[in-house]
Amino acid sequence: MMHARARPRTISSNLCYWAVLDGNLVARRGRGRARRRRQLGFLFESALPLPVDDLHAVFERLPGSPPRFVACGIEKSRLRNRTTGRDSVLTPSGVPTCIATDIGSAAETLADRLNLLTGPFEPPSVRRVRRAWLTTFSFLAMVIAVLVVIGAERRTRQRWDVQAQLNDQERHLYESALGPRATGSATSQPPALRLVAERRRLERTRGALPGVRQIPDVAGDLAGLLGQWPRELHARTESLTIMPGQITLTAHVASNEEAHELASALGRLPEWTLGQPRVTTTRDGVRAIVRLHPAPPEASP
């Protein structure tokens, strides 16, 4: 058999006590819904002809500023006699004229928001729904927490596995370079230090392979040459050759004076001496060839 869903019931507003409360008296005090409700109850009692403990009161904050609350209360015995177990919402039938005049347009929907079936008068069906929601939420929170823990543990295990693989690869590289005993307990020296020591030993004991031409390191000479280059001199470099026994530069400049300036500046390169520069005139300027030779060692006294 189907039962029609019960509609929200109303109670005559003349059976209720009403007041508009100043929210500034409670806004600056302690937080918490229960504490604020007690403070509003104390304010409501100052406008009542009976103790507030004899009433079941609900409060609704009005929009706007300064903060104000509308209090609506009904005697507990009267409310208990007018409720049934099937009701989930019980609201006043309207707002008294004196209250509506004070709060203005907010009175149009205020009565629908003042549900008197709250707190100790909350219907069992509403409690069951709330309990079901709380149970569902707690279960979902627990599931999420378990999934987070499992995910974190899995990521940690993956990191350990990757680290173990890297350690195995490192051990294999050391063994291939130093032998199977490189990572054993026979030596107290770490494999990394043994590898460095082995490389240095090989550098000392093995020279260049026969028939292999070694490329000289001229980076220092090139850096020194560029450091002596005149900053304000515009020259177009045709070629630059740096060898252990000679540096040859061929460049194009605008005049003979700039050619001699370039040669004089490069001649100040430490550990090198300037040879006689060759200067020839071309259609677009002067072509200068500058040669530097290693300086002879100084005679010891």
Cα 176 to its chain centre, rounded Å, is 43
Instruction: Indicate the domain borders of the chain.
Output: 9-121, 123-154, 220-294
**pLDDT given at position 200:** 78
What is the tens place of the pLDDT at every residue in 155-209?
999 999 989 888 888 888 877 777 766 555 556 677 777 777 777 777 777 655 5
C-alpha to C-alpha distance for 202 and 198, rounded to whole angstroms? 6
Across the chain, what does the average pLDDT equal?
A: 83
Condensed to tens digits (0 to 9), the pLDDT of residues 106-124 reads 888 888 889 988 888 887 7
Rounded to whole angstroms, how far apart are CA atoms 46 and 273? Answer: 108
% of the chain exceeding 70 in pLDDT:
87
Please state the rounded mean pLDDT for residues 233-257: 89
Tell me the C-alpha distance between 54 and 43, whole Å: 15
| Cα(36)–Cα(30) distance, integer angstroms | 8
Residue 30 scores a pLDDT above 70: no
195, 174 Cβ separation under 8 angstroms: yes
The answer to whether residue 227 scores a pLDDT higher than 90 is no
Name every residue whose Cβ is closer than 8 Å to that of residue 33 and which is 6 or more positions away in sequence: none
Contacts of residue 240, defined as CB under 8 A and 6 or more positions apart, other chains included, come to: 225, 247, 248, 249, 250
Q: Cα-atom radius of gyration of the chain, to the nearest Å? A: 48
Q: Are 240 and 249 in contact (CB under 8 A)?
A: yes
For 220-294, give the CATH class: alpha beta
Task: Give the least confident one: 61-75, 114-128, 242-256.
Answer: 114-128
Tokens for 243? Answer: 């060898």
Average the pLDDT over 129-149 and give the result.
Answer: 91
The average pLDDT across 237-262 equals: 90
User: What pLDDT was estimated at residue 4?
Assistant: 42
pLDDT above 50: residue 1 = no
CB 296 within 8 A of CB 245: no
More confident residue, 132 or 218: 132
- Residue 81: is its pLDDT beyond 70? yes
Provide φ and ψ at 136, rounded to 5°. Answer: -65, -45
Answer yes or no: are the C-beta atoms of 88 and 6 closer than 8 Å: yes
Query: Which pLDDT tens digit goes with each residue over 82-98?
Result: 877 677 888 898 899 99
* CB burial of residue 156 (10 Å; 0-12, 13-18, 19+): exposed
Region 262-286 average pLDDT:
89
Is residue 269 a contact partner of residue 224, using CB atoms and an 8 Å limit? Answer: yes
pLDDT above 90 coverage of the chain, percent: 25
Do 220-294 and 9-121 fall under one CATH topology?
A: no
What is 9-121's CATH number? 3.30.420.380
The pLDDT-based confidence of 298 (bands split at 50, 70, 90) is low
- What does the alpha-carbon distance between residue 222 and residue 268 come to, in Å, rounded to a whole number? 14
pLDDT, one tens digit per residue, over 2-23 is 344 445 688 888 999 999 998 8
Q: What is the largest distance, in Å, between two alpha-carbon atoms of the chain? A: 126
Alpha carbon distance 29, 155 (integer Å): 47
